[in-house]
Structure formats: structure tokens, C-alpha cells
Amino acid sequence: MLTADTVRVRSIVYETFVREGRAPSIAELARITATDPDAIRSLQRDLARAHAIVLSPDGDAIRMAHPFTAAPMAFVVTPLDGHDDRRWWGGCAWDSFGISAALDLDVRIDTACPHCGTPISYTAGPGTPPPDGLAVRFPKPAALWWDDVVDTCTRIRTFCSTDHAEMWTEQHDPGAGYIASATTVWRLAQPWYGDRLDAGFQPHSRDHNQRLLDDCGLTGDFWHLP
Ligand SMILES: [Zn+2]
Ligand SMILES: [Zn+2]
């Protein structure tokens, strides 16, 4: 369970991502919460241990607060409403759907197929799946995701087709990974990320998340959470 102090810092982190597409600095968090920077550093470490945020390698900045990321990771998420000028980096194919789910917002997602390099642009929303035919490749089994979650997300990519995902795998990572339809990943993102901005959010339990994977047909060793 997150404590009241960590919940407060976490809320400011997410509010800043939602509003400005960036992570707040330690100085900013210290000022807003009227605490000292060392206390913020310590709360950030607690949040990172709970997998509620991801810190930079030097530990002095927030790198990700899933589904948001503070640095580009091959996905740009744009509100479909042209009067809404916010933009976000999506942490991966899954996180990009997660931003739409968390914000309850119809979005356009821009990326490129890692195999052929063709730009891919698709729309999705909480009630609108992405178009058929797109494939998402997961590079490694669920048990290993958090060993290096930035690397994991960096490599969860959308391909223009299952064929291209298979060809890329054959050339770069033979025998590894799992290829799902983008629609399956979209479906998974709704309950996985839909409550991420709720007041009083607590990280899901392992069993809860395992059920969400099961419900999308993502079963077997590859999908077994640690
Ligand atoms: Zn392609
Ligand atoms: Zn991700």
C-alpha cells in the first residue's frame, strides 16, 4: 500500500504528465508539497520500489510513470479533439493505449513499423479499438518485464502486420517474444490503465493483473507474472 505522502507525490507527478506531458523535478515537488528535496528523493524511491514510477539511472529524475514517459519511446499520443493541444510520449504500444484509457480520451497514435520503417498512424479510444491487422510484439516474458522496464517498454512495438513482426523477430531476436494483435493489447490496456488517474489509486496486486492478462487470452508461461 502507498502511504499518504507517497500518494501525494504520485498525484502531482501524474497531474503534471497529464497537463504538460512531462515529469516534475525534485525541486518542483519539494516546493508544491512544502517538504525538502531529500524527503522527495526518499518518497520517489518508495514509489519506484512499488513500481508506481521509474527513476532515471542516476535516480535524480522521473523517467516513467506508466503509461507516461518523460522521454521519447517511439510513440506519440495526440488527442483527436483538435482543440486539445496536449501531447504525450507513449512508453510503448501498450502504454499508448493506456494513456487513452487513463484519460478516457480518443487519441491518434503515431509510430513506425520496426521492420519496414513505414510510419503508422492509428486512432483508438476507450470505446474504439485500433484498426484490424496491426500487431504488437512483446520482447520478453512477463516475469522479466521489471528487471529493466525501460528496456521492456522500448521494445514493445507496433508492427504494420503480423508478417512484419515475424520477419523482424526472425532477423533480430529469433525464437523470442510474443506477437499479439493490437486489438488484444488495446483491450488489455483498458482495465490495466483505466484507473491509473483515480484518486486513491493503489497499484494492482499481482493476482489482479494476472486475471487481466487471462481475460485477454494472454496465458501460459510467457504471461506468468512474478
Ligand atoms: Zn512493416
Ligand atoms: Zn510499456
The verdict on pTM exceeding 0.75 is: yes
Distance CA 119, CA 163 (A): 16
Does the domain formed by 4-65 have CATH 2.40.50.100? no
Higher-scoring residue by pLDDT: 77, 1: 77
Q: In this model, does residue 32 exceed pLDDT 90? A: yes
| 199-202: long-range contacts, CB 8 A cutoff, minimum separation 24 | 199/11, 200/7, 201/7, 201/10, 202/1, 202/2
- Ligand 1 centroid vs 218 CA: distance in angstroms? 24
What is the 174 CA–ligand 1 centroid distance (Å)? 17
CA of 47 to the centre of ligand 1 (A): 37
Q: DSSP string of 108-168?
A: EEEEE-TTT--EEEEEEBTTBPPPTT-EEEE-S-GGGGGGSHHHHHHT-EEESSHHHHHHH
Q: Which ligand is nearest to the CA of 168?
A: 1
pLDDT 10s digits, 131-160? 999 999 999 999 999 999 999 999 999 999
Compute the average pLDDT of residues 89-110.
98
Q: What is the mean pLDDT of residues 39-65?
A: 96
The verdict on domain 75-223 having CATH code 3.30.450.410 is: yes
Beta-sheet strands, E only, within 11-114: 54-55, 62-65, 68-69, 75-79, 88-90, 107-112
Q: Is the pLDDT assigned to residue 2 strictly greater than 90? A: no
Domain residue spans of the chain: 4-65, 75-223
Q: What percent of the chain lies above the pLDDT cut of 90?
A: 97
Mean pLDDT taken over the chain: 97
> How would residue 199 be classed by pLDDT, with cut points 50, 70 and 90?
confident
pLDDT of residue 200: 81
Q: How far is the CA of 185 from the centre of ligand 2 (A)?
A: 11
Ligand 1 centre distance from Cα of residue 111 (Å): 11
107-131, pLDDT tens digit by residue?
999 999 999 999 999 999 999 999 9
The ligand whose atoms approach the alpha carbon of 54 most closely is 2
Please check the confidence at residue 170 and state whether its pLDDT lies above 90: yes
